[in-house]
Amino acid sequence: MNKKWILIPSVVLLTTIGMLGAPIWKHLWHALKPQPDVVLDAATTGKTIDTLVAKLNENYIFPDKASQMETVLRQRQQEGRYEGIKDGRQLAKQLTDDMRGVVEDRHMSVGFKPGLVLPDDDGVLPPETQAQWEAQNNIAIRTIMRVMAKREVEKVERLGANIGYLKVSGFPPEFLVADKFGEAMNEVADTDGLIIDLRDNGGGGIKPVALLISYFVDERTRLNDMWDRSTGVTRQHWTEDKLAGKRYGAKKPVMILVGPGTMSAGEDFAYTMQALKRATVVGANTWGGANPARPHRIGEHFYAVIPSRQVINPITKSNWEGVGVVPDIAAAPEQALAVAQDLLQRRLNGGAALAAARP
């Protein structure tokens, strides 16, 4: 969920697709070697569509929508819409467009990667613990991911004497970023107000989101629930009690900057803080992808990313899928920082309370 974690093909192979445990040179070779020419034939296209339909029906969070997507794909297959497509990327894009024509789910897509070999679906699930993560990744991969994780906290500084500024570009696994979050929060702990910049946040996981929100509450707080179609179980997510840094607390004002570049887990943070009435969101509507997804192999060179879980906020009873996070105060993304700093400074100086753009 995860623009920052899909910067280069090797990162896709190492993290998103879940090719775990093999030597790093093998991942890099698959990512950087010249890609073989793949010319699609009718049999390959037909098998890819058949597998895609099966995976949608088995895994997509809304079975009725999966059935509707199957109807559309089959109809266009019968009409011969896919027969003339010989380029894999073009077919992947067309299938993605056709699925999203039924349901605009931002995390759902079909991808094409010549030579890519995905593991079985059971091996694609992300690790739940640091021990699982270490078991699935060799030391070279772990080192690269640790370095990348620390860089997701891009900037920590002060804007004037009493306003802190924290720019977070992604939410990698909590066990990789916990110390960095703690260091950042220690630096801004004594400020009177804080601006959190998520305008270029490419996403990540729900656990690191919960970890960062934990710094802005005074007691254990329920955040979002996650319903999993495969199990039918809804799992509650709460703030953490033990933190690596100082709590900012529930009283001091916080403003969050967002825009179209705020994606997935970045949206989760902004939406949840807004629902808790713990922050004022400034900027433009965000990307609009809420439903967590994972990749499935659907052919020799094709994979489908299919959402199988749904985020449900216990306060709003909904999420931000398709619409994004709607700011409390609208501003062009490039002007959001100046707007937020001015409003926050006036509030700290005893000015009028911040006005919301919507109820």
pLDDT of residue 3: 40
Span 129-179, pLDDT tens digits: 767 766 777 777 777 777 777 778 889 999 987 999 999 999 998 888 999
168 burial type by CB count under 10 A (0-12 exposed, 13-18 middle, 19+ buried):
buried
Residue 43 neighbours by CB under 8 Å, 6+ apart: none
How far apart, in whole angstroms, are the C-alpha atoms of residue 81 and residue 269? 41
> What separation in angstroms does the CA of 11 have from each of 8, 54, 182?
5, 28, 26
pLDDT of residue 4: 39
Taking the C-alpha atoms of 84, 86, 92 and 98 in order, what is their torsion angle to the nearest 10 degrees?
0
CB atoms within 10 A of CB 73: 21
How far apart, in whole angstroms, are the C-alpha atoms of residue 122 and residue 138? 19
What's the DSSP call for residue 4?
G
pTM for the complete prediction? Answer: 0.84
Average pLDDT, the chain: 85
Topology of domain 152-289+324-348, CATH: 2-enoyl-CoA Hydratase; Chain A, domain 1 (3.90.226)
Q: What is the three-state SS of 208-252?
A: HHHHHHHHHCCCCCEEEEEEECCCCEEEEEECCCCCCCCCCCCCC
- The mean pLDDT value for 73-98 works out to 94
Residues forming CATH 3.90.226.10 domain(s) in the chain: 152-289+324-348
With tokens 């709607």, the residue in question is 326
pLDDT of residue 30: 47
CB atoms within 10 A of CB 289: 27
